[in-house]
Amino acid sequence: MLPEIEMPGHSVAALTAYPELACKPGPYEVRTTWGVDENILCPKEETFTFIENVLTEVMALFPSQYIHIGGDEAPKTVWQASQIAQDVIKRENLKDEHELQSYFIRRVEKFLNAHGRRIIGWDEILEGGLAPNATVMSWRGINGGIAAARANHDVVMTPTSNTYLDYNQGDPRFESIYMGARLPLMTVYAYEPIPDSLTAEQGKHVLGTQGQLWTEYMQTTRDMEYMAFPREMAIAEIAWSPKAARSWDSFGRRLLPRLLALDRLGVNYRFPGVESGLEKNQVVAGDTVTVTLATPIPEAEIRYTLDGSEPTITSTKYTGPLHLTIPADGSVSVVARAFLDEHHASPSRAATFRRATTTSTR
Ligand code: ACM
Atom of ligand 1 at shortest range from CA of 70: 4
Which of 185, 203, 222 represents a domain boundary (last residue)? 222
Distance from the alpha carbon of residue 7 to the mean position of ligand 1, in angstroms: 12
d(CA 219, CA 224): 8
Question: Is 217 in the same domain as 287?
Answer: no
Q: List pLDDT tens digits, range 261-318.
A: 999 999 999 999 999 999 999 999 889 999 999 999 999 999 999 999 999 999 999 9
pLDDT band of 358, cuts 50, 70, 90: low
pLDDT surpassing 60 at residue 360: no
**Is residue 254, in this structure, part of any structural domain at all?**
no
d(CA 173, CA 347): 10
Question: Is 53 in the same domain as 153?
Answer: yes
DSSP, residue by residue, 262-305: HHHHT--PPPP---BS-SS-EEESSSEEEE--B-S-TT-EEEEE
- For residue 180, the model assigns a pLDDT of 78
Distance from the alpha carbon of residue 244 to the mean position of ligand 1, in angstroms: 30
Atom of ligand 1 at shortest range from CA of 137: 4
**Is residue 263, in this structure, part of any structural domain at all?**
no
Question: Is 208 in the same domain as 286?
Answer: no
Atom of ligand 1 at shortest range from CA of 212: 2
Asked if residue 303 lies in contact with residue 318, where contact means CB atoms within 8 angstroms, the answer is yes
The answer to whether the CB of 279 is under 6 A from ligand 1 is: no
| CATH code where residue 322 lies | 2.60.40
Reference 183, options 220, 223, 230; nearest CA is 230
- For residue 177, the model assigns a pLDDT of 75
The answer to whether the CB of 139 is under 6 A from ligand 1 is: yes
Question: Is 71 in the same domain as 207?
Answer: yes
The answer to whether the CB of 301 is under 6 A from ligand 1 is: no
Point out which residues pair with 333 in neighbouring strands: 352
Number of domains in the chain: 2
**Is residue 247, in this structure, part of any structural domain at all?**
no
**Is residue 241, in this structure, part of any structural domain at all?**
no
Kindly state the percentage of the chain with pLDDT values over 90: 93
Distance from the alpha carbon of residue 140 to the mean position of ligand 1, in angstroms: 8
The answer to whether the CB of 73 is under 6 A from ligand 1 is: yes
Rounded to 5 degrees, φ, ψ at 155 are -140, 155
3-state secondary structure of 79: helix
- For residue 217, the model assigns a pLDDT of 86
Q: List pLDDT tens digits, range 139-168.
A: 999 999 999 999 999 999 999 999 999 999
pLDDT surpassing 90 at residue 216: no
> For strand 331-341 and strand 349-355, is the pairing parallel, antiparallel, or unpaired?
antiparallel
> For strand 344-345 and strand 331-341, is the pairing parallel, antiparallel, or unpaired?
antiparallel
Distance from the alpha carbon of residue 294 to the mean position of ligand 1, in angstroms: 32
Which of 198, 222, 246 represents a domain boundary (last residue)? 222
3-state secondary structure of 133: coil
pLDDT surpassing 60 at residue 53: yes
Distance from the alpha carbon of residue 43 to the mean position of ligand 1, in angstroms: 22
The answer to whether the CB of 72 is under 6 A from ligand 1 is: yes
d(CA 67, CA 178): 31
Distance from the alpha carbon of residue 36 to the mean position of ligand 1, in angstroms: 10
The answer to whether the CB of 122 is under 6 A from ligand 1 is: yes
Distance from the alpha carbon of residue 72 to the mean position of ligand 1, in angstroms: 6
- For residue 359, the model assigns a pLDDT of 56
Distance from the alpha carbon of residue 81 to the mean position of ligand 1, in angstroms: 25
> For strand 349-355 and strand 282-284, is the pairing parallel, antiparallel, or unpaired?
parallel
H or E element: which one contains 247?
none
d(CA 232, CA 201): 28
**Is residue 271, in this structure, part of any structural domain at all?**
no
The answer to whether the CB of 304 is under 6 A from ligand 1 is: no
Ligand 1 atom 3: residue of nearest CA: 72
**Is residue 128, in this structure, part of any structural domain at all?**
yes
| CATH code where residue 186 lies | 3.20.20.80
- For residue 361, the model assigns a pLDDT of 52
Domain that holds residue 99: 4-222
